[in-house]
Amino acid sequence: MEAHNLKQHWDTVYQKEDEHLGWFEPNPEQTLALIAETNLSKDATILNVGAGTTTLIEALLDKGFTNIIANDLSNFALRKLKDRVQKSHHYHLKGLVDDLTNPKKLNKLLPIDLWIDRAVLHFFLKEEEQKAYFNLVKKIVSKKGFVIIAVFSLDGAEKCSGLPLQRYNPEMLQNKLGLDFKLIKTFNFTFINPFGGERPYVYTLFQRQ
């Protein structure tokens, strides 16, 4: 799908109530467990890519983190997320509408301490899209900074939101990141989606050396 159509696809998807999205998780426990491993200070710069309308932002604010940026291709999703967080936590969330496979704003960010991706990378099928994504990680994640990537595992579903996926294991992610990033922790987790379907994910935490 072309970038323009993809944007439209995601804007349309997010017209639904959050609880009706196939990836909706009321409590992002697995991501929080990996964040706890980082021991980052509360003022660390955290970038959640392809954030959509995730509940992770409120969870991070509840943990005391103060410097959070949310990115998505969908302006509509980010607006929803920003409004919700403003209401619940009186927090002005910095939102960056940008394409991870052709970044125009994300690549201008200052070094960030933690990159978080849940269920985004696996949508990028083309070699050049994956290259752009990983080049961005390498460009903006600080020295000693962390990368959390949670994607559908090799035994995971072949599609999400009607779109085909590239599934991963930790070795594949390590190859894409290169040896400058050290795998700190990984685990498999079967997410049960709001419709009762099993969605096996692999969670990974890397640290830049």
Asked if 114 is part of the footprint of ligand SAM (rule: CB under 6 A), the reply reads no
Of the candidates 57, 73, 114, 202, which one interacts with ligand SAM according to CB under 6 A?
73
Asked if 120 is part of the footprint of ligand SAM (rule: CB under 6 A), the reply reads yes
Asked if 51 is part of the footprint of ligand SAM (rule: CB under 6 A), the reply reads yes
Return the H-helix or E-strand segment holding 206. Answer: strand 198-208
Nearer to ligand SAM, 27 or 41 (CB): 27
Measured CA angle at 77 (ends 86, 176), to 5 deg: 110
The DSSP result for 33-46, as a single string, is: HHHHHHT--TT-EE
Contact segment (CB under 6 A) with ligand SAM among 37-45, 98-106, 166-174, 180-188 equals: 98-106
**Coil, strand or helix: which one is 170?**
helix
Q: How far apart are CB 99 and ligand SAM at their closest, in Å?
A: 4
Asked if 74 is part of the footprint of ligand SAM (rule: CB under 6 A), the reply reads yes
What is the torsional sign of CA 127, 130, 132, 134? negative
Measured CA angle at 187 (ends 131, 13), to 5 deg: 60
Amino acid at residue number 96: L
Positions in the binding site for ligand SAM (CB under 6 A): 10, 23, 50-52, 54, 71-74, 77, 99-101, 118-120, 123, 160
